[in-house]
Amino acid sequence: MCNWPYFLAITKRRRGGKWMGRPIVKLENVSFRYQPNTEYALKNVSFHVYEGEWLAIVGHNGSGKSTIAKLMNGLQFAEEGKVIVGNIEVNEKNVWAVRKKIGMVFQNPDNQFVGTTVQDDVAFGLENHGIPREEMVIRVNEALKSVKMDAFMTQEPHQLSGGQKQRVAIAGVLALQPEIIVLDEATSMLDPRGREEVLHTIRTLKSNKKLTIISITHDLDEAMRADRLIVMKRGELYKEGRPHEIFQLGDQLHDLGLDLPFTIKFANALREKGIQIPKEILHEEELVRYLWTLSSKM
């Protein structure tokens, strides 16, 4: 049966191949250098992030993708142009108001832990924001349940696996109730199992809590889970589009130091053999299902 409300929402948001809806983050002609008289880390970059989408910003080291994350969260400020988060311009005056709207999950979860137990760590940010204890207890419990880590509340963080640590880091951000979560290479230090745990958690949270997700990554396997991709090259916006549109760039991505996911490579190889694989098929399960259907008709 067709999920009609969902279909209407997706049609509205993707009309004409573009994501539609309310922009929740806007970069307008943004340029930035880390030091005066040096090369620009970002050069005249403009794009919107739309409410409720999962946007992946991809690129090789030095492409400017992590700089974008720092500008969104007020860790750095644009030299030229504007960064706007939820109608608030990111600058020194507004930085704390912006940080109430946007939460960051970084590459190494060990660097984010400050509490002696899991629940203490999730509560730390709430304490800093002066949240009353009664509400703090509720938020900590709800956040840990959301990432399926409530059974580990009294555990010491160093006893957890990499994927579990990153899920606790996500819970710490969720407890602050932001509208946007930015994952800055948040799965790059994890093994395949830990990476899948975190990505599954993010996908579920996005759906259940209507969050906007921005993932900063060089891993196209992670990026293909997103609704839309932006490809950065030497501080400039190179391409943007839906995953299947970006993956059609093929050798151009390889030249940027980005490796196509195995499923995409395999589907391309089948196309070269004359087997027609729809371009929208990106994931292994989808490809297996399509090939099974195809073989049953032969």
Which three-class secondary structure state does DSSP give residue 288? helix
Alpha carbon separation from 144 to 25, 54, 111, 122, 164 (Å, rounded): 27, 22, 19, 8, 11
Q: How confident is the model at residue 19 (pLDDT cuts 50, 70, 90)?
A: low
Indicate whether 83 pLDDT > 60: yes
Flag whether pLDDT at 4 surpasses 60. no
| DSSP reduced 3-state for 177 | coil
Q: DSSP for 40-71, please give it.
A: -SEEEEEEEEETT-EEEEE--TTSSHHHHHHH
Q: What is the DSSP letter of 27?
A: E
What pLDDT sits at residue 1? Answer: 36
Residue in 267, 241, 239 with CA at minimum distance from that of residue 253: 239
Give residue-wise pLDDT tens across range 144-188: 998 989 999 999 988 899 889 989 988 998 999 899 999 988 888
d(CA 136, CA 160): 23
What residues does each domain of the chain span? Answer: 261-298
pLDDT higher than 50, residue 5: no
Please state the pTM of the whole predicted model. 0.84
pLDDT at 14 over 80: no
Q: Give the pLDDT confidence score for residue 298 in this predicted structure.
A: 64
